[in-house]
Amino acid sequence: MNKIVILGAGYGGITAALRLARLLKKKKDYEIHLIDKNPFHTFKTQLHEAAVRNVEVSVPINQIIRKTSIIFHQQEIKQILTKEHIVKLQDFDITYNYLVLALGSITNFYGIPGLQAHSLTLQSLDDAKIIYENISGLIDEAMTSINENNKKDLLRFVIGGGGLTGVEFAGELVDYLSRDNRLVQGLKEVIVIEAGNRLLPNLDEKMSEEATKRLINKGIKIITNTKITNRTADTITLSNGEIIKSYCLVWTGGIKISELIGASDLKIGQLGRVLVNEYLQALDHPEIFALGDNALAINPTTGKPVPAAAQFALQQGRLVGENIFAEIKGKEKKTYKPKVFGEIISLGRHLAVGWFAVPFIKKLKFIGFIGSLFKSAVEDKHILLLRKESRNWTSWKG
């Protein structure tokens, strides 16, 4: 039996699997194997909400694929042997005719002393649960402490990195501490430390400035042009010499791609992302496709790498499904042209900043409550598309 093996059931991987399952419905000589270490698909763009408010941001993979021919294996991927066409999993090996790399990204600590050992990360549902427990524990401890200074130290939360993840988490956290936890008001401190000269470098300067103002109004302290140079269990040393006391540092300052991919013989570029051609095939390996955070896809219009973002992982997942089908059928493959629909960044529970691509105006910018409605609409659209692709309208999530 021919096998298409898809590594990772995140945004890109699950989309590729579902698209292939539909296209290959009548072709019974191909099996689709989807592999993930978790039994659930995570709505990663909502992880900050899970980390602060413990909300549900995942859905069981078996529920999504229930009405398809996809074979799911809950397995940790250990090694990719490209010459032998084998992937080594925790319990068995699997061979492939086509392989899809959709493993997402991991946190980059840049070798900063103490950072990996003493900071929390926000890349997975497990990470979100650990942050939630950590925050809850510190609040409980602060409430029972009789020393005012100790209370303040316990309630000082620091976020390293002022990009999308750091900002979304900071906004969510400050809202939670201010609104849902009136007992900690006046004592809590949320600090964002950013090495660059402004937050949200992907947005234009004006929007980033406006978003920063809103975050400051919410009570977040923002320190830019400053790096974290050392971390111990309770201190954070900054490049300006300042030392901040904090028991909770959430590090969102950088991503890289899993060493699994680096250890294979695939050609990699920036951040360890796989170099791909215009069809998203790995260079020198037409049987391997890479997508989402794993792929260093180039936008043919700008000549620049496509950013690591959910909207591109979803588009690439669909295209990879179609291109593998085209290969099997001996048909022409489609070239990858990213569609940029816009960007929305949440600044707390009822506030978001962003823009939509609109004909003629080009960028329709917004900030405020309306932005948070747009953000929920985009998230709902993902769930709707999953349901549509899987032909499964039963009531998972929402």
Ligand X SMILES: Cc1cc2nc3c(=O)[nH]c(=O)nc-3n(C[C@H](O)[C@H](O)[C@H](O)COP(=O)(O)OP(=O)(O)OC[C@H]3O[C@@H](n4cnc5c(N)ncnc54)[C@H](O)[C@@H]3O)c2cc1C
- Residue 283 or residue 378: which is nearer to ligand X going by CB? 378
76 binds ligand X (CB under 6 A): yes
Cα(345)–Cα(372) distance, integer angstroms: 8
Q: CB 137 → ligand X: shortest distance, Å?
A: 21
**What does the DSSP assignment read for 154-191?**
HTEEEEE--SHHHHHHHHHHHHIIIII-GGGTTT-EEE
Which position has the token pair 């900030």? 367
Burial grade of 393 (CB within 10 A; 0-12, 13-18, 19 or more): exposed
Closest CA to 196 of 220, 240, 163, 164: 163
Least distance from ligand X to the Cβ atom of residue 145, Å? 30
Q: Which is nearer to ligand X, 70 or 142 (by Cβ)?
A: 70
Regarding 58 and contact with ligand X (CB under 6 A), the answer is: no
**Residue 12 or 348 having the CB closest to ligand X:** 12
Cβ-proximal residues to 13 (8 Å cutoff; 6+ apart), any chain = 6, 7, 34, 36, 100, 102, 103, 291, 292, 317
> Which structure tokens are listed for 371?
């932005």
Query: Binding segment for ligand X among 226-234, 305-313, 321-329, 365-373 (CB under 6 A)?
Result: 305-313
> Residue 77, interface with ligand X (CB under 6 A)?
yes
As beta bridge partners, residue 326 has: none
Least separation in angstroms between residue 216's CB and ligand X is 21
Which residue in the set 104, 163, 348, 371 belongs to the binding site for ligand X (CB under 6 A)?
104
- Helix (H/G/I), strand (E/B), else coil: 119: coil
For residue 123, state whether it binds ligand X (rule: CB under 6 A).
Answer: yes
x/- contact string, 334-373, with ligand X (CB under 6 A)?
----------------------------------------
In the complex, the residues that contact ligand X under the rule CB under 6 A are: 8-13, 36-38, 42, 44-45, 47-48, 76-77, 102-104, 122-123, 164-165, 168, 258, 260, 292-294, 308-311, 313
